[in-house]
Structure 1
Amino acid sequence: MARPCKADAEHTRDKILDAAEWMFLQHGYAKTSLEMIARAGGFTRGAIYWHFTDKVSVFKAMLQRVKLPMERMFEQKIEQEANPLQALYQMCLASLLQLFEDERHYRVHAILLTRCEQVGELADLHQHNLDLHLRIKLRCEGLFRQARKLGLVAADLNEQRAALALKAYMMGLYLSILREPDELNTIDTARQLLDDYFQRLGCNVM
């Protein structure tokens, strides 16, 4: 078989991942096969194996096309902000906006959070997410600690509990957006819920 040119190969790879995205969303990870992905994209299984070794590698490549909300939060450079609470609020809001405004981002996170079990062959993905969430939690703790030192929150604020509560609150919003689209279906509603949380901390987000 002649090796395809780089542009054609990249185009085919993207189309395979597009088809995989829709199949995983419709059927879940466990019930999706490479044969189903091939049929959905109009490819042969051989075309898939040209680019990927197995279903796990297809799934992980699909995930790499987007940034997880928590991962994007971790990458932003905000430690030197004059108001760490305001910076943290903007970081959380940006991650929610992405779910509403980026269709691929929405689909991939719906798959990751509602359509697959991160056990067995995906166990390393689960560990990666645990490690990421720990880094996010530690970073949030640092921002809450900075806010306490600046007098922006109560002097007796426990930054560990505050960071854990924020992580749980954000994950709850993500899951509600993905699982209950009829109830939480606009960014305005999500923003109001986020505003409520930060206003209880004494952060003026207006």
Structure 2
Amino acid sequence: MARKTKKDAQKTRQQLIEAAIAQFATRGVANTTLTDIADAAQVTRGAVYWHFSSKSEIFNAIWEQQLPLRDIIRDRLSLSENDDPLLMLREQFITALQYIAHEPRQCALLQILYHKCEFTNEVISEYEIRKRIGINFDCLRKTLERCVLNKAISPNVNIDLTLIVFHGFFSGLIKNWLMNRDSFNLYQQAPALVDNILATLHSTRVSPAVCGVAL
């Protein structure tokens, strides 16, 4: 019985987290109450306080359990680190964008981050959230360095500057798409969008290699 009770408690806690994600993404964090979350999870307000002492604690729990996008999409990739690093990078970017476009939960998380949250001292910082769900710059740097070693991109490419450009491109792209998802089809246009940003690397191999990749 004790095991079942513990399992049920964990299930209720997760229900509250999922309900909070939906409510935060729709109402905004500031405008969402614990009662809103309880109602959405179909539990009592007392059940909320059994698991969380405040709305900020729920907010933090959401991000603390969130896996990096790179890890989430890993099983969806056909290429590995033993393959052409530039094509691998292309596939990772496309798969990430298409996952965001296709998965409501991931969309909701990014909606909260970009449009529905004001950060205070009580909640995890925006910087920490972006580290958890955004581009992993250490991994991206290593991939770009492999591209240089494999002569997929010019050794004259400024990797530090490229990381800044990539971050600005993807952050701006997702933020603008979330404001109006009807403005363009992120899922369908992901390959073309990624090809355009990779073209900034001025690689002689980008265009011909990209044309031969099956999605």
> What TM-score, normalized by structure 2, do the two folds share?
0.79
Distance 1:79 1:138, change over 3 A: farther
**Structure 2: distance between partners of 1:135 and 1:93:** 13
Which whole-Å deviations, capped at 9, do the CAs of 1:117-160 have from their partners, x for residues lacking one? 233322x3324246559982233222222212221112311111
**Structure 1: distance between partners of 2:20 and 2:153:** 46
**Structure 2: distance between partners of 1:190 and 1:172:** 14
AA in 1 matched with 2:40: A
Give the equivalent residue in structure 1 for 2:101: 100
**Structure 1: distance between partners of 2:10 and 2:150:** 50
1:1-206 alignment to 2 at 5 Å? Answer: 5-64=5-64, 66-69=66-69, 80-122=81-123, 124-129=124-129, 136-201=136-201, 202=203, 203=206, 204-205=209-210, 206=213
**Structure 1: distance between partners of 2:183 and 2:134:** 30
Secondary structure of 1:181's counterpart equals coil
1:115: Cα distance to partner?
Answer: 0.6
CA contact (8 A) 1:69 1:95 kept: yes
Q: Which moved more, 1:27-36 or 1:39-48?
A: 39-48
CA contact (8 A) 2:52 2:58 kept: yes
Provide the alpha-carbon RMSD of the alignment.
Answer: 3.1
AA in 2 matched with 1:145: E
> What TM-score, normalized by structure 1, do the two folds share?
0.82
Distance 1:81 1:199, change over 3 A: farther
- Structure 1 runs of 4+ off > 4 angstroms? 70-74, 130-135
CA contact (8 A) 2:85 2:146 kept: yes
Secondary structure of 2:143's counterpart equals helix
1:4: Cα distance to partner?
Answer: 7.3
The alignment of Structure 1 onto Structure 2 pairs a total of residues equal to 203
